[in-house]
Amino acid sequence: MLQRKVNTFVEKAEIDSVKLSDRLINRHIDDMVIPAGLITFTVLKSSTHGIGVMIPEAPDKVHNLGLSYHAGYQAAASLGVPAGWVANTIRGGKPYEADAVTYALNKYITNREARDNRFLFRNVNDTVRGWLSTSYKRLNTREIFMMFLLMARELKLPLIGAYEGTSKDWLEAIDPNIIFVETPNNGIVSYARGVQLRNSDFGSGKLELRSFKLYPACLNGMTGKSFLKEVHLGSRMSDEFMFSIETINKETEVRALMVRDSMRWIFSERNREFEEAQIVEASAKPLNLSLEIKRLPQLGLVKPEVKTVEEILLQHSEDDGIQGKPSYLMMSQAISAMARDKDEERRRDLQAIAGSYVFTEEPETMNQLNM
């Protein structure tokens, strides 16, 4: 019955994910390095009263670009304007708020005296999705995602998730075959192994490859430790912005090969044994639930989420994956159960928090694995 449940879940999830993955790998990003003196913030005359930027292209021509709320947050932070105020206004502020935001941004950008007063715009379909410093190292996400898909086919892993957000993207694949682990305090735990690739082309997090667990009884999910953490940092760009395509492709090729090797390791027998041992260990570690609930805001949960976790623990339902005695594993299940109804980005963030209760140590180096 559990295997049939997983198979049905995979079959439904796989259909939409394939279409979206095509959009991710074919997305075109137009990079522009713009001096601060050429940037003017404007109010977009739309129902949402968003914010845009105007850049001169010629003496009698200007280029008008929209500004995503994420890029607006980055712009405000770099200029010293309250970033949350700017981002929230872009997401749905009133006309007078948009006017106030553009006035403040234009004032602050004219007074900018930084060593490098240029910015890297990452533009998608005339919307700036990333407002970055010129130290940002670009990677060709298409090639990295293509490697993920290639390895998913090699390892016979159906693609169950492909999400394109405003600032972050994910791909997820899974081995539908269920694994059963007997635990000290939480009964027999069943799960299917998966893998998640997360990246931001727009400065909102690292390139990460994480193991992923799907619990078939409740369809909760959690992610494990990251096997790949690559921060998009680099040296300052030259005034001519002359990084060659060859250089960018070489950087990307290295990351793509790291994704390949990491995926092989994640689905190796040795890593399976390691992760099973961590699940058993998390179940064996007793936990004072009332004290731990008070600590959840420090991990990034907001008050309504904390309240829902507490309710799930009190209900103690196997439909939420909650069984047995209080343990680190039980808290992980409660957080992942709460995450099921969240939006795409928030759910994945919460799944990482849930995984931190179980996968607390780095596995032995992949170099020891005979691939």
Q: What are the tens digits of pLDDT across the range 61-110?
A: 888 999 999 999 999 999 999 999 999 999 888 888 999 999 999 999 98
CA–CA distance, 330 with 258 (Å, rounded to integer): 33
Q: Which residue has the higher pLDDT, 69 or 24?
A: 69
Average pLDDT estimate for 164-179: 90
Instruction: Give yes or no for residue 48 having a pLDDT over 80.
Output: no
What is the value of pTM for the model shown? Answer: 0.81
Q: How confident is the model at residue 21 (pLDDT cuts 50, 70, 90)?
A: confident
Give the residue among 233, 209, 212 at the shortest CA–CA distance from 144. Answer: 209
pLDDT value of residue 261: 93
Instruction: Give yes or no for residue 365 having a pLDDT over 80.
Output: no
What is the CA angle 13-162-254, rounded to 5? 135
CA–CA distance, 182 with 57 (Å, rounded to integer): 65
Instruction: Give yes or no for residue 177 having a pLDDT over 80.
Output: yes
pLDDT value of residue 49: 62
Task: Look at the block and give the residue holding tokens 């009263």.
Answer: 49
**DSSP symbols for 183-246:** -SSS-EEEEEEEEEEEE-TTSSS-EEEEEEEEETTTTEEEEEEEEEEE--B-PPPPTT----HH
Instruction: Give yes or no for residue 246 having a pLDDT over 70.
Output: no
Average pLDDT estimate for 219-248: 64
pLDDT value of residue 15: 65
Question: What average pLDDT is seen over the chain?
Answer: 86
pLDDT value of residue 251: 79
3-state secondary structure of 30: strand
Among 37-46, 54-63, 128-137, the least confident range: 54-63
- The predicted-structure confidence for 54-67, as pLDDT tens digits, reads as follows 998 777 788 899 99
| Ramachandran category for residue 178: left, alpha or beta (phi over 0 → left; psi -120 to 50 → alpha) | beta
